[in-house]
């Protein structure tokens, strides 16, 4: 076959396969058998293998996967991906309708009701009909580029059809249907892996897999429910959804225009029960103003559109018996009580355990041994005790006592003033704290050492190979190769084998070596200093510049850092007053970790040096507020988080809180506009 003949056949096959994909995955009306479809796809794969220069970016073979993504690139959303305001109350929903009517100055407004899919929000960007980018919500301003993985989802068109615009951005939800979820968990159980908790978590995890070939096997689906660009002079949300359905998108069939408020409540009541029959999970109903002109008139708050709201279904509640209470020790020594329950089905899963938070929770809930308790899933994920059936309690039952000593090392527990939890102070020798610090150190947001996880770290700890985080950097091939351990899964009781083979050992050692390039702010976070989170570690690192300056900082110097209060400052002082921690840092320095801010940390100017500036109110976009905060730091200033006597200026947007405004006036703080601020940093 010549290249010209191959090109013609590839185009024919691609067009035919795209059409069959659309009929099967979008319209659910297959017109060809699975065998015949596979034959067409196999022919296309063979031709593209023979003529790789003819592979098009929208080829159906791209859905098979094959791309490997070690780290997902961060992208900036063209339009912020805002979240919806939530309500569980009909009264609050009536207040929403009233706000809309008052904002528009009219009544009898049309609303569109849709299902609220329980999955992962996604933004799809098309140019000239071709999918060029798929991005997750992230923080609303920046998300992860997951284009390679999204291309494997067969209900997402790679190329649009019909009269589509030159550029198009659509938003939707990627979900894992019940059938795919059950299949995935069965496969995991067959190979000894613990089952995943729910379809939403499974969908989110699948979308971030590094190998797109694995994503292709997960059976994900996608519904599109919002259009960001003007299309063909359409002026209502409902019409826009119908229009993009003509382009090849899978749009929701579960949608209704409601002319009266009563119709909205009828839609909610219907799906509150009918949702149990759906082949996928939903957790509520989304209500949107239908007219685009009205949406533009109502606008946005800093976080949510004023023209839409989500009515969330109340979590399912079940009653079961408390069998016993066990206690877990975290990496910072905090002891968390866990309720062991008589197994009961809740929201589609069997629940055996629930968190009890701390000693105060047990006391406030008045939980007794053997009580009958009511449990819900917080956000439909984490089971929690929400009530106790005191009427069924027998007279001989006594309150659940909180333990006095660490369940792992036997050390007397302590509780600091102002803290809710008890903790074990034996940080140096308490096994779960040691293993917790090791797990925290290698986590993605910390040192990101690949191919190490909880079970592998537990094995290294048990073998005496890793006792401190510095020990990772002294591991050698001969230490690791051949290590094996059999474990019993707490979830299903099945046996699993952990084994360190050639490739695993090589990947671990490469990951450890690569972590030596991780910047100082993440190294500081990875150290696991109590109360120092990812954000505060970044601010502390940038403020002090290096570990030596930080280790010698006084209490007064520490609390000058934005977001560092007394509790964090005292924790840092305690950390650097411990000889073992100082020795650990010296060891980490010797192996080459980064303990100072590198290039790019110098301010653009010192025009705001010595000034503390608070940004308050809403701006054109959430991204603009973030930009102003960055400009403060880039020009030598400090970004304040609250109004106090240390603040020099407040950059005020719209709807600045009245309490902040009054406090600023009382303290004599200058309130300036965005334009005033820009003039301050731009002037010579």
User: Do residues 121 and 232 lie in contact, with contact meaning Cβ atoms separated by under 8 Å?
Assistant: no
Active site (annotated) includes residue 116: yes
> Using CA of residue 26, residue 27, residue 32, residue 34, what is the dihedral sign?
positive
Report the C-alpha gap between 342 and 355 in whole angstroms. 14
Q: Which helix H or strand E contains 265, and what residues bound it?
A: helix 261-274
DSSP state of 252: -
CA distances in angstroms from 596 to 517, 577, 592, listed in the order given:
12, 20, 11
CA distances in angstroms from 342 to 35, 204, 263, 350, 518, listed in the order given:
47, 30, 41, 10, 45
Report the C-alpha gap between 3 and 6 in whole angstroms. 5
- Collect all residues with Cβ–Cβ distance below 8 Å to 151 and sequence separation of at least 6: 62, 63, 65, 131, 134, 158, 212
CA 104 to chain centre: 35
507 token code pair: 């990947």
Report the C-alpha gap between 382 and 323 in whole angstroms. 19
C-alpha closest to that of 18 among 248, 218, 253: 248
C-alpha closest to that of 326 among 334, 342, 338: 338
- Hey, which bits of 409-500 come out as E strands? 484-488, 495-499
Choosing from 15, 116, 463, 638, which is the catalytic residue?
A: 116
HEC letters along 401-423:
CCCCECCCCCCECECCCCCCCCE
Report the C-alpha gap between 250 and 478 in whole angstroms. 53
424 token code pair: 């074990």
Q: How many CB atoms lie within 10 A of CB 343?
A: 12
Report the C-alpha gap between 234 and 238 in whole angstroms. 9
Report the C-alpha gap between 446 and 443 in whole angstroms. 5
Report the C-alpha gap between 9 and 543 in whole angstroms. 62
656 token code pair: 């600045």
> Which of 582-588's residues contact partners 24+ apart within 8 Å by CB, and which partners?
582/551, 584/468, 584/469, 584/470, 585/527, 585/547, 585/551, 587/468, 587/470, 587/473, 588/469, 588/470, 588/473, 588/523
User: Do residues 13 and 61 lie in contact, with contact meaning Cβ atoms separated by under 8 Å?
Assistant: no
> Torsion-angle region of residue 542: left (phi > 0), alpha (psi -120 to 50) or beta?
alpha
- Geometric angle at alpha carbon 255, from 254 and 257, rounded to 5°: 155
Please count the helices (runs of H) and the strands (runs of E) in the chain: 24, 22
User: Do residues 326 and 336 lie in contact, with contact meaning Cβ atoms separated by under 8 Å?
Assistant: no
221 token code pair: 């689906």
Report the C-alpha gap between 88 and 67 in whole angstroms. 42
Report the relative pairing of strands 670-672 and 649-652 from DSSP bridges.
parallel
678 token code pair: 């820009």
Catalytic residues: 116
């Amino acid at each position: 076959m010549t290249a010209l003949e191959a090109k013609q056949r590839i185009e024919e096959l691609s067009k035919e396969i795209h059409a069959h994909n659309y009929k099967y995955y979008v319209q659910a009306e297959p017109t060809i058998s699975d065998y015949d479809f596979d034959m067409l796809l196999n022919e296309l794969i063979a031709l593209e293998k023979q003529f790789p220069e003819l592979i098009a970016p929208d080829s159906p073979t791209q859905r098979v996967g094959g791309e490997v993504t070690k780290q997902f690139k961060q992208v900036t959303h063209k339009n912020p991906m805002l979240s919806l305001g939530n309500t569980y109350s009909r009264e609050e929903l009536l207040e929403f309708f009233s706000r809309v009517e008052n904002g528009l100055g009219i009544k009898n407004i049309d609303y569109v009701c849709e299902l609220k899919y329980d999955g992962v929000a996604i933004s799809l960007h098309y140019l000239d009909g071709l999918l060029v980018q798929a991005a997750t919500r992230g923080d609303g301003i920046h998300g992860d580029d997951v284009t390679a993985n999204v291309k494997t989802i067969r209900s997402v068109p790679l190329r649009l059809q019909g009269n589509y615009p030159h550029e198009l951005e659509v938003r939707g939800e990627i979900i894992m249907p019940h059938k795919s979820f059950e299949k995935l968990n069965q496969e995991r159980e067959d190979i000894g892996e613990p089952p995943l908790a729910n379809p939403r978590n499974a969908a989110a995890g699948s979308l971030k897999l590094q190998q797109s070939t694995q994503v292709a096997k997960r059976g994900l689906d996608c519904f599109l429910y919002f259009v960001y660009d003007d299309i063909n002079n359409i002026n209502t949300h409902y019409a826009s959804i119908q229009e993009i359905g003509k382009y090849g998108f899978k749009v929701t069939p579960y949608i209704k225009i409601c002319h009266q408020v009563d119709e909205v409540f009828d839609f909610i009541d219907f799906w509150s029960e009918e949702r149990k029959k759906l082949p996928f999970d939903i957790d509520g109903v989304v209500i949107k103003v239908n007219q685009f002109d009205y949406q533009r008139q109502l606008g946005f708050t800093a976080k949510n559109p004023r023209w839409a709201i989500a009515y969330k279904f109340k979590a399912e509640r079940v009653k079961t018996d408390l069998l016993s209470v066990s206690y877990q020790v975290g990496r910072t020594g905090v002891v968390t009580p866990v309720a062991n329950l008589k197994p009961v089905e809740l929201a589609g899963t069997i629940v055996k355990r629930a968190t009890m938070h701390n000693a105060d929770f047990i006391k406030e809930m008045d939980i007794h041994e053997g009580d009958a308790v009511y449990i819900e899933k917080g956000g439909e994920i984490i089971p929690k005790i929400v009530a106790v059936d005191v009427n069924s309690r027998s007279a001989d039952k006594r309150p659940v006592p909180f333990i006095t000593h660490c369940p792992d090392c036997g050390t007397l527990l302590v509780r600091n003033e102002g803290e809710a939890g008890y903790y074990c102070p034996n940080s140096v020798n308490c096994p779960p704290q040691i293993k917790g610090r090791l797990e925290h150190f290698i986590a993605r947001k910390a040192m990101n050492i690949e191919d190490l996880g909880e079970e592998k770290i537990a094995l290294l700890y048990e073998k005496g190979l890793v006792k401190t985080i510095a020990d990772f950097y002294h591991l050698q091939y001969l230490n690791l190769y051949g290590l094996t351990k059999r474990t019993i899964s707490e979830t299903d009781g099945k046996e699993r084998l952990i084994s360190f083979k050639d490739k695993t050992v090589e990947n671990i050692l490469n990951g450890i070596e690569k972590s030596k390039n991780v910047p100082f702010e993440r190294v500081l976070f990875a150290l696991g200093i109590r109360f120092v989170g990812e954000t505060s570690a970044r601010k502390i690192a940038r403020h002090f510049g290096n570990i030596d300056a930080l280790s010698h900082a006084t209490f007064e110097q520490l609390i000058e850092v934005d977001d560092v209060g007394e509790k964090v400052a005292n924790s840092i002082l305690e950390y650097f007053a411990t000889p073992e921690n100082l020795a650990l840092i010296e060891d980490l320095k010797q192996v080459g970790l980064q303990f100072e801010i590198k290039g790019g940390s110098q301010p653009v100017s010192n025009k705001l040096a010595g000034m503390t500036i608070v940004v308050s109110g809403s701006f054109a976009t959430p991204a603009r507020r973030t930009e102003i905060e960055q400009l403060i730091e880039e020009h030598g200033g400090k970004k304040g988080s609250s109004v106090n006597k240390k603040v020099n200026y407040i950059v005020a947007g719209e709807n600045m809180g009245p309490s902040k405004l009054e406090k600023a006036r009382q303290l004599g703080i200058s309130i300036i506009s965005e334009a005033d601020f820009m003039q301050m940093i731009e002037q010579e």
